Amino acid sequence: MQNNFPVDNPFLEYLGAKCLYANNIGCCIELDIQPNLTNSWGKAHGGALMTLMDVSMSWAARFYNQYHETGAMTINFNASFLSSGTGLLICNAKVIHKTLTLAFCESNIIDTNNNLIASSSATFKYAKKLN
């Protein structure tokens, strides 16, 4: 397991993200925005931010209460970009409601000055791993 990811995720490793925790309380991932992760204005690319929010919420859903041998697939995702991000960004996610088959989650990305960069909500469906 690289960079403390609870499950293998080569894409996040490629981005340089680090998982600080993923447990029954939620998930926290940090990413130091490097030049290859910026847009034409030199700010964090929206795709990198959306990746952090999507993955952190899906892991929060997956690890809520206990580890599930299932995955959590995104079925709905809504994001708001509130400020431009640079440097070290931290994404926190949590489950706000769960049923047997669905998890409803929220996440926020902040910078090291505690400025809110982006916010999102999503719905995830629990599913068994396909062979």
Render pLDDT for 13-51 as a digit per residue (tens, 0 to 9): 889 999 999 888 999 999 999 999 999 999 999 999 999
Q: How many domains does the chain have?
A: 1
φ, ψ of residue 49 in degrees (nearest 5): -65, -45
Range(s) of the domain holding residue 110 = 2-128
> Tell me, what's the pLDDT at 1?
39
N- to C-terminal Cα separation, the chain: 21
Task: Enter the pTM of the model.
Answer: 0.91
Residue-level length of the chain: 131
Tell me the sheet residues that pair with 21.
28
CATH of the domain at 75: 3.10.129.10
Tell me the sheet residues that pair with 95.
105
26-32 vs 88-98, strand pairing mode = antiparallel
Q: What is the mean pLDDT of residues 113-117?
A: 97
